[in-house]
């Protein structure tokens, strides 16, 4: 039996284990650093499969490392399992809800992400056992991707330093290798403290913390004109100082995300944002406290490793969806805004060229693997996989788990991540990651080349975006 067929056999034999974990995690829908049941669903399976599990790493109760084997090469598989607030939606249900929810849901499909990597880790272990393959397969239980930057704290603790390579995946609208960089990001609270007073009777005695927040936001909105085109600033109020207009607000807080293509740039831009905040405090006679919550590096794909991932994907083949799954995708497609389809064409043109974008326009579920095209595109978002990519050569892929034109962080993702469409993509992710890990373990020259590229591009050294005294926001 060839390696591909053998991997598919192992994945098929154990698929109920990791798909049940996916469904459990979907129903738990726990947000960043609170994923207690979700982490347990994964570690229970890993322990039963003979992995040694170190729990509560990097000072985060829901972070863990599971290992099988000994010595180098050491290949890491990354698993996420956190949900998002207010995105609960019934599984496989394409009817938009009339009711507003504040309950959590897997609107980015991380229930599948952790489960697919779990399936891969088990298949690699089974292959290593069958062939006496030396080396180590490690599964990294990575909490708080959406909020908290779990991998950054794990990287700061040196957990990825011994790896020869790291592999991961994300669900999405098509099958491809992630060749674009993500943004570096710093997340800060700006807490203003003023003096309360009767807003009508004695306004002259008040110093409004809410005014300070508003002036800071106005200042940052002017700053946008004078920053790099790819840079992003966005904010949310976490404390508006109360609900009574006739009470001068003596406390208020605004939470900022600052993003730039590179870590050095985001540090520079953040200093300018801090200056705006200081100016707002000066204007309003308030005191300012700045609290850095977390941050992360930009993602740098390793092209040697990404090419191996692409070749493995092509050998395994893309996911094949059933007629029922295609019919369900058609139901979801009815809920998409036409503007989203136009935007999908635009983004696919940037990444894959106009021909590919045209070819897949109007598709429901993409089964093909899109071509591997290295580029210099920077995505708008950020991921803490970036921190891993600064510690070791890293490759990431997307696998179809949603109908084409589904956008991330939506109820449609929650619904599809709890459906068989999500399962079909997850099984494929497990096969591709397992095959890539085994090939990497068997190719010391390839791992050496990947390391040379990693050292050349990153300097071979991880610089953590946050200082040692910033702890995870548990
Ligand atoms: Zn995600």
If asked whether residues 164 and 251 sit together in one domain, one would say no
Residue 465 belongs to a domain: no
If asked whether residues 192 and 96 sit together in one domain, one would say no
What is the distance in A from the centroid of ligand 1 to the CA of 250? 37
DSSP output for 398-416: EEE-S-TT--SSSHHHHHH
Q: In sequence order, which ranges of 285-353 are alpha helices (DSSP H)?
A: 303-316, 323-333, 338-352
Between CA 109 and CA 44 the distance in angstroms is 21
Domain stops at, among 296, 323, 343: 296
What is the distance in A from the centroid of ligand 1 to the CA of 169? 10
Residue 471 belongs to a domain: no
What is the distance in A from the centroid of ligand 1 to the CA of 195? 41
If asked whether residues 417 and 443 sit together in one domain, one would say yes
Domain stops at, among 249, 279, 296: 296
Domain count, the chain: 2
Q: Which of 57, 258, 301, 54 is nearest to 170 (CA)?
A: 301
If asked whether residues 279 and 388 sit together in one domain, one would say no
What is the distance in A from the centroid of ligand 1 to the CA of 160? 20
Between CA 83 and CA 26 the distance in angstroms is 8
If asked whether residues 196 and 216 sit together in one domain, one would say yes
If asked whether residues 242 and 133 sit together in one domain, one would say no
What is the distance in A from the centroid of ligand 1 to the CA of 270? 24
What is the distance in A from the centroid of ligand 1 to the CA of 150? 13
What is the distance in A from the centroid of ligand 1 to the CA of 287? 36
Residue 407 belongs to a domain: yes
If asked whether residues 109 and 57 sit together in one domain, one would say yes
52 preceded by cis ω (within 30°)?
Answer: no
Residue 382 belongs to a domain: yes
pLDDT reported for residue 460: 93
What is the distance in A from the centroid of ligand 1 to the CA of 90? 19
What is the distance in A from the centroid of ligand 1 to the CA of 81? 9
What is the distance in A from the centroid of ligand 1 to the CA of 107? 8
Structure tokens given for 267: 């540090």
Residue 467 belongs to a domain: no
Where the chain has pLDDT below 70, the residues are: none
Residue 472 belongs to a domain: no
Residue 242 belongs to a domain: yes
What is the distance in A from the centroid of ligand 1 to the CA of 65? 20
Structure tokens given for 121: 């880790």
Residue 352 neighbours by CB under 8 Å, 6+ apart: 176, 370, 371, 373
If asked whether residues 238 and 255 sit together in one domain, one would say yes
If asked whether residues 266 and 212 sit together in one domain, one would say yes
Q: Which of 17, 14, 15, 35 is nearest to 26 (CA)?
A: 35
What is the distance in A from the centroid of ligand 1 to the CA of 110? 6
Tell me if the pTM is above 0.85. Answer: yes
pLDDT reported for residue 172: 96
What is the distance in A from the centroid of ligand 1 to the CA of 208? 38
CB within 5 A of ion ligand 1: which residues?
108
If asked whether residues 266 and 338 sit together in one domain, one would say no
Between CA 209 and CA 283 the distance in angstroms is 11
pLDDT reported for residue 375: 85
Is the separation of the CB atoms in 152 and 466 below 8 Å? yes
What is the distance in A from the centroid of ligand 1 to the CA of 201? 50
Between CA 333 and CA 446 the distance in angstroms is 41
If asked whether residues 411 and 364 sit together in one domain, one would say yes
What is the distance in A from the centroid of ligand 1 to the CA of 429? 15
Domain stops at, among 237, 262, 296: 296
Residue 85 belongs to a domain: yes
CATH of the domain at 97: 3.40.630.10
What is the distance in A from the centroid of ligand 1 to the CA of 413? 10
If asked whether residues 176 and 103 sit together in one domain, one would say yes
CATH of the domain at 234: 3.30.70.360
pLDDT reported for residue 276: 98
Is the separation of the CB atoms in 393 and 305 below 8 Å? yes
What is the distance in A from the centroid of ligand 1 to the CA of 278? 34
Q: Which range of residues forms the domain containing residue 209?
A: 184-296
Burial of 157 per CB tally in 10 Å (0-12, 13-18, 19+):
middle
């Amino acid at each position: 039996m060839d390696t591909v067929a053998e991997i598919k056999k192992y994945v098929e034999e154990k698929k109920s284990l990791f798909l049940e974990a996916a469904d459990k995690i979907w129903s738990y829908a726990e947000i960043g650093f609170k994923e207690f049941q979700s982490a347990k669903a994964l570690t229970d399976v890993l322990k039963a499969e003979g992995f040694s599990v170190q729990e509560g790493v990097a000072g985060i109760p829901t972070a863990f490392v599971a290992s099988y084997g000994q010595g180098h090469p050491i290949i890491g598989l990354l698993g996420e399992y956190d949900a998002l607030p207010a995105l609960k939606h019934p599984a496989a249900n394409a009817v938009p809800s009339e009711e507003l929810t504040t309950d959590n849901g897997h609107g980015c499909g991380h229930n599948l992400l952790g489960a697919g990597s779990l399936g891969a880790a088990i298949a690699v272990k089974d292959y290593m056992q069958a062939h006496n393959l030396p080396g180590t397969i490690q599964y990294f239980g990575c909490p708080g991707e959406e909020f908290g930057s779990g991998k950054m704290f794990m990287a700061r603790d040196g957990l990825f330093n011994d790896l020869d390579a790291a592999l991961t995946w994300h669900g999405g609208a098509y099958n491809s290798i992630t060749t674009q960089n993500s943004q570096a990001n710093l997340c800060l609270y700006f807490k203003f403290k003023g003096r309360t007073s009767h807003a009508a009777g004695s306004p002259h005695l008040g110093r409004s913390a809410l005014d300070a927040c508003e002036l800071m936001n106005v200042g940052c909105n002017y700053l946008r004109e004078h920053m790099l085109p790819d840079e992003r600033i966005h904010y949310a109020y976490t404390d508006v100082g109360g609900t009574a207009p006739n009470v001068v607000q003596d406390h208020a807080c605004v939470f900022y995300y600052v993003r730039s293509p590179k870590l050095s740039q985001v540090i520079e831009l953040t200093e300018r944002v801090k200056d705006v905040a200081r100016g707002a405090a000066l204007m309003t006679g308030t005191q300012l406290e700045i609290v850095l919550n977390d941050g992360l590096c930009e993602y740098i794909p390793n092209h040697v490793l990404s090419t191996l991932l692409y070749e493995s994907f092509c050998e395994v083949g893309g996911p094949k969806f059933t007629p029922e799954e295609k019919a369900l995708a058609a139901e979801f497609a009815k809920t998409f805004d036409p503007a989203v389809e136009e935007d999908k064409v635009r983004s696919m043109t940037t990444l894959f060229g106009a021909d590919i974008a045209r070819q897949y326009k109007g598709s429901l579920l993409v089964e093909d693997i899109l071509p591997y095209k290295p580029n210099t595109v920077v995505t708008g978002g950020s991921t803490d996989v970036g921190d891993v990519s600064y510690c070791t050569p890293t490759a990431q892929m997307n696998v179809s788990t949603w109908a084409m034109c589904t956008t991330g962080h939506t109820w449609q993702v929650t619904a599809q991540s709890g459906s068989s469409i999500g399962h079909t993509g997850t099984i494929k992710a497990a096969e591709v990651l397992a095959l890539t890990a085994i090939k990497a373990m068997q190719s010391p020259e390839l791992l050496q080349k990947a390391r040379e590229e990693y050292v050349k591009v990153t300097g071979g050294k991880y610089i953590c975006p946050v200082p040692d005294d910033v702890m995870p926001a548990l």
